[in-house]
Amino acid sequence: MNTFGLHTFAIAPVWDLDLIEPQMERLKGLGIGLLEIPLLRPEEIDTRRTRAFAERWNVELIPSLGLPASLDVVARPDEALAFLEPAFTVCEAVGSEALGGVTYGTIGKTSGRAPTADEIDGMCSFLGRAAKAARAHGLKLGIEPCNRYETHLINRGIDAAKIIERVGADNIFIHLDTYHMHIEEESFEAGFKAAAPYLGYVHVSEANRGVPGRGMLNWAACMKAIAGIGYSGAITLESMNHVDFDIAGGL
């Protein structure tokens, strides 16, 4: 049984419980069982209040992030690991089981070319260390393939699967997003099949990031592909009515 989730960019530009809580009765009525926290600045999250909120409304939480442009996981992995550490602390404190998103690089940073051997080597080394740090907090670590205009490092489900197999950490999972898949995969069936052994989280997002059904995404093919691999994890709507300023440029 899949849990239906909502990325909170649909209802608020940041994780602001004063904005989010008044909408919870309506959201629960729509079947929402999970909320995704945009973890752009971990120090801004009131973890105690957030955990109490999740327990009060009986919703799961999964924070996600993209590494900021100032970081380089290949050239300066220690800095990137230091950035992730408070994010892992927040995930653990709010009762989440995982951190998702673009945890391997920066959204909006691309060479315009295929990743080099040095980039792949550096990214895999970094992810191995990041997975170990996540495990120390009892967490899994998601890697979200993004389209070629946002990153050149991991674009498809098959790319993410190869990276996970090379790293060899059992707490890394693939976080697929139908918006990116619509651009990069040959088909939803091919993308979901390639990711299936490691798939742990799914963003469903329209081709224009708006209201599902008001864009060009083939939702019937998407849902058939998800059902076809027997995926039973969370399916989270990412519809960007609000986007925090720090991430908007990268998107």
Residues taking part in catalysis: 144, 238
**173 to each of 32, 197, 199, how far by Cα in Å?**
23, 9, 6
Helix (H) / strand (E) element for 61: namely: strand 60-67
Three-state SS for 242? coil
C-alpha 42: how far from chain center: 15
Residue-wise burial string across 217-240, b where 16 or more C-beta atoms lie within 10 A, e elsewhere: beeeebeebbeeeebebbbbbbbb
Q: Answer positive or negative: Cα dihedral of 118, 124, 127, 132.
A: negative
Question: Phi-psi bin for 62: left (phi > 0), alpha (psi -120 to 50), beta?
Answer: beta
Compute and round to an integer the Cα radius of gyration of the chain.
Answer: 17
- C-alpha–C-alpha distance, residues 96 and 82, integer Å: 20
> Where are the strands (E) in 68-158, listed by range?
98-106, 140-143
Long-range Cβ contacts of 115-119 (<8 Å, 24+ apart): 115/152, 115/153, 118/74, 119/74, 119/153
